[in-house]
A and B are shown apart, each in its own frame.
Chain A
Amino acid sequence: MSTEFPLWEVFIRGQHGLAHRHVGSLHAPDAELALKSARDVYTRRNEGVSIWVVPSSAIAALDPSEAEQNFAPSESKIYRHPTFFDIPEDVGAM
Chain B
Amino acid sequence: MYAQMVESGQAGTSDQDKAFQDKIDRNVRIEPRDWMPEGYRKTLIRQISQHAHSEIVGQLPEGNWITRAPSLQRKAILLAKVQDEAGHGLYLYCAAETLGVSRDELTEQLLSGKAKYSSIFNYPTLTWADVGMIGWLVDGAAIMNQVPLQRCSYGPYSRAMIRVCKEESFHQRQGFDIVRALVEGTEDQKAMAQDALNRWWWPAIMMFGPPDADSTHSEQSMKWGIKLNSNDELRQKFVDQTVPQAEWLGLTLPDPDLKWNEDRQSYDFGTPDWDEFFNVIKGNGICNRERLDARNKAWDDGAWFREGLMAHAEKTTKQNIAAE
Contact = CB atoms under 8 A, between A and B. Distances in A.
B307 A2 contact: yes
A60 to B, nearest CB: 12
A29 B312 contact: yes
B324 to A, nearest CB: 16
Contacts, number: 58
A10 B86 CA distance: 17
A5 interface: yes
Given A4-B102, A44-B84, A64-B34, A26 B313 contact: no
Interface string B1-40: 0000000000000000000000000000001011100000
Interface of A: 1-5, 7, 24-27, 29-30, 33, 40-41, 44-45, 61, 63-65
Contact of A29 (B91, B166, B313): B313
B310 A5 contact: yes
Given A1-B104, A64-B31, A26 B94 contact: yes
Given A26-B90, A45-B167, A63 B313 contact: no
B289 interface: no
A41 B90 contact: yes
A62 to B, nearest CB: 9
Contacts of B312: 29-30
B309 interface: yes
Q: Which applies to chain B's interface (DSSP): helix, strand, loop or mixed?
A: helix
Contacts of B34: 64-65
B284 interface: no
Given A27-B103, A44-B167, 16 more contacts: A1-B108, A2-B307, A5-B103, A24-B91, A24-B159, A24-B160, A25-B97, A26-B90, A30-B309, A30-B316, A41-B87, A41-B91, A44-B84, A44-B87, A45-B167, A64-B31
A30 B313 CA distance: 6
Interface of B: 31, 33-35, 80, 83-84, 87, 90-91, 94, 97, 102-104, 107-108, 159-160, 163, 166-167, 303, 306-307, 309-310, 312-313, 316-317
A26 B160 CA distance: 13
Contacts of B167: 44-45
B70 to A, nearest CB: 24
A24 B98 CA distance: 11
